[in-house]
Amino acid sequence: MTKPNLTLYLAAPRGFCAGVDRAIKIVEMALEKWGAPVFVRHEIVHNKFVVDGLRDKGAIFVEELSDCPDDRPVIFSAHGVAKVVPAEAERRQMIYVDATCPLVSKVHIEAERHYENGLQIIMIGHAGHPETIGTMGQLPDGEVLLVETVDDVATVDVRDPGKLAFVTQTTLSVDDTKDIVAALQARFPAIVGPHKEDICYATTNRQEAVKAVAGKVEAMLVVGAPNSSNSRRLVEVGAKAGCAYAQLVQRADNIDWRALDGISSVAITAGASAPEVLVTEVIDAFRARFNVTVEQVETAVERVNFKVPRVLRDVETEN
């Protein structure tokens, strides 16, 4: 039986960003330096395949510092943690390594600077997301207020409308965030914004690549985890950019083939915490069912690289 023809458009950039790459490397280097087990507070990045791979090497993933023994190293995830977490680790005299993405740390520093200047901060982000919890936890209770939508802006209760600043989670939809920022500026004309966009380069680049490819295809698959904020935003961006069917898949075996019946063009991208091996797996699944032509649609080239913390650089030198 002849396979139907299908064009696969690969969006680029896609997949791992520099912050995710660094966080995974930190766990691997910690295991090399201290041996197993190494404890990791929260999933190091939001991807089951990555987490399972590190678990197989000897990492133990926990949700709280209280789940860790005093005598083994602990790593804080790429999403960042509230200040009380490293403070508690120091009190317990634990060895800890902070794998917070440097672009998230930049937002933390920004929030502290605004606080020192006497400003109350409004954070645009998703309630319950570890990055939001970590950023809000840099300052005392009540100093950072959370808004998730344009509607939230109308009801947020601030201390002084003339002394406000805003920061954002790094993995939001660029377009949705613009609308929320505009609403904040309309209600609080004196509000101070970041010098440079808080939404990280990788989130922005992946969303731009999705917009470039969405109009060319009948369907789009985003390889990523359901708890990955940036992956879920890619699905939303694809749908808003005109793609009739945009879906998140963790692995090739999550693909709903019935929904793709009769189509001739599909776009594939991956969230910033999804490894390229999973994209390859998805492409191979299409090759098994279709006569596939692959086209790359590249909108940016990324050359960002972040150093690992100093405590692990001796391992890097040995390698």
Could you read off the pLDDT of 247-280 as tens digits, one per residue?
999 999 999 999 999 999 999 999 999 999 999 9
Give the per-residue pLDDT at 195.
80
Same fold, 5-16+201-298 and 103-187: yes
Answer whether residue 1 shows pLDDT above 80: no
The mean pLDDT of 24-53, rounded to a whole number, is 97
> Of 171, 84, 158, 172, which Cα lies nearest the Cα of 122?
158
**What fold, for 18-101?**
Rossmann fold (3.40.50)
Catalytic residue (choose from 63, 88, 131, 148): 131
**What fold, for 5-16+201-298?**
Cobalt-precorrin-4 Transmethylase; domain 1 (3.40.1010)
Phi, psi of 120 (to 5 degrees): -85, 145
Separation CA 265–CA 267 (nearest Å): 7
Does residue 223 contact residue 282 with C-beta atoms inside 8 Å? yes
Looking at domain 103-187, does it have CATH number 3.40.1010.20?
yes
Residue 305: pLDDT band with limits 50, 70, 90: very high
Q: Would residue 131 show up in a list of annotated catalytic residues for this protein? A: yes
Provide the mean pLDDT of the chain: 96
Residue spans of the domains in the chain: they are 5-16+201-298, 18-101, 103-187
- The mean-pLDDT minimum among 31-45, 108-122, 186-200 falls in 186-200
Does residue 36 contact residue 62 with C-beta atoms inside 8 Å? no
